[in-house]
Amino acid sequence: MRVGWKRFNRCVKGRTGRGCRGCATGERSPRLELNGPLGQAGTRQGRTVLDHVYISVSDVPRSVAFYVAALEPLGWRELGGWDSSGAPAGVPDLHGVADAAYGSGTAVGSTIWLRRRQPGETGLYVGFVADSDAEVDAVYAAAIAAGGKSEGEPAVRAYFDPSYYAANIGDFDGNHLEIVHKKFNPPHRQHRE
């Protein structure tokens, strides 16, 4: 299946589809949705693929209040702060916001971690869900073979959680990828034989 953008119409009442039924106004506004193997944003064939995103901000308390208020209608909540004093150098203090599934034990959730922006800092930091340590290892090996820069070989990151197994890779433009398997998350898909 080819990945691409599919145009939908959204009526002013928020209904979607090729046509709006029951909307008195009949007004439409264009909307694009990802079509193909990724399905809904952040998922691949019903599987959550984004674990977390770090957003660097200039004013952490103000930004926490903003993200909590903005995402509350979607079921997101504040997680609180994480102190990095026991972590390796360069790991920042984090302030989290999570969706309803995060920590439920029934589904893999997603989080946004806010961190204080450092002078000259650029790039995005995105964490991708893996269903096993072997998947973390495979993605890391593939990324390095494709020219990525190692920012942390696959290993347990006990300073986050004893069951947090991850690898970190940098791309060519200063963006940072983390591939993470959290053993407390339920698996998302049948593994290929």
pLDDT of residue 76: 86
Which residue ranges in the chain fall short of pLDDT 70? 1-47, 73, 173, 188-193
Each residue's pLDDT tens digit, 31-58: 323 333 333 444 445 567 788 998 888 8
pLDDT at 13: 38
pLDDT of 56 reads 87
Q: What is the pLDDT of residues 24-38, one digit of tens each?
A: 434 333 332 333 333
Alpha-helical segments (H) within the chain = 60-71, 133-145
Please tell me the predicted confidence (pLDDT) of residue 29: 31
Query: Does the predicted TM-score (pTM) go above 0.85?
Result: no
d(CA 56, CA 36): 31
